[in-house]
Homo-oligomer: A and B are copies of this chain.
Amino acid sequence: MEKEIAEEYIALIPTLFDSFSELNKDAAELTHMQNHVIEYIYMQQKALNLKEISAGLNMAKQQLTFIIRDLVMDGYLAKEPDHKDKRAVLISLTPTGKKTQEEKWQNIYHKFHQNLGKLSEEECRDLNFALHKVNQLLKKMERK
């Protein structure tokens, strides 16, 4: 059965890919990497230091120095010293930065909502339950 589950999981990724790749369809003001950085911080839901972002996005920290400097100057990100480690700096989204992300997700939200019309009421209930279960169990698998 484990093989079966893994295959279902793998199959899910391409299905979500379209929604995901639409995220930055218009976001024209920022470069790709700038978008990735903001997006990553938004998804992690907490302030991160440079090292963490670098590891999460699989890019050199030297690159981040300048990307983040620009994003701070443009008002999307804020830096604050990390009191636990005085070498480190914590990066977080400003209200402006957070708003831009919320707007992007809002587009996906709308599109999904429209497509929901293609399902019957019973299918909607099933989908709701199944999505909830998947989220819950995948989260559990991630931990530790």
* Interface residue SS majority, chain A: helix
Determine whether A139 belongs to the interface, using a CB cutoff of 8 Å to chain B. yes
Within 8 A of B (CB), among A104-138: 105, 108-109, 112-113, 115-116, 118-119, 123-135, 137-138
**Cα-based distance from A21 to B21 in the complex (angstroms):** 12
A140 to B130, CA, bound (A): 15
Q: Digit string of A16-35 for contact with B (CB within 8 Å is 1, else 0)? A: 11111100110000000000
Q: Kindly report how many copies of this chain are found in the complex they form together.
A: 2
Let me know if A141 and B126 touch, CB within 8 A: no
Nearest first, the 6 A-B pairs at minimum CB distance are: A8-B131, A130-B133, A14-B43, A130-B130, A115-B141, A127-B137
Give A residues with C-beta under 8 Å from B. 1-2, 4-6, 8-21, 24-25, 43, 56-58, 105, 108-109, 112-113, 115-116, 118-119, 123-135, 137-144
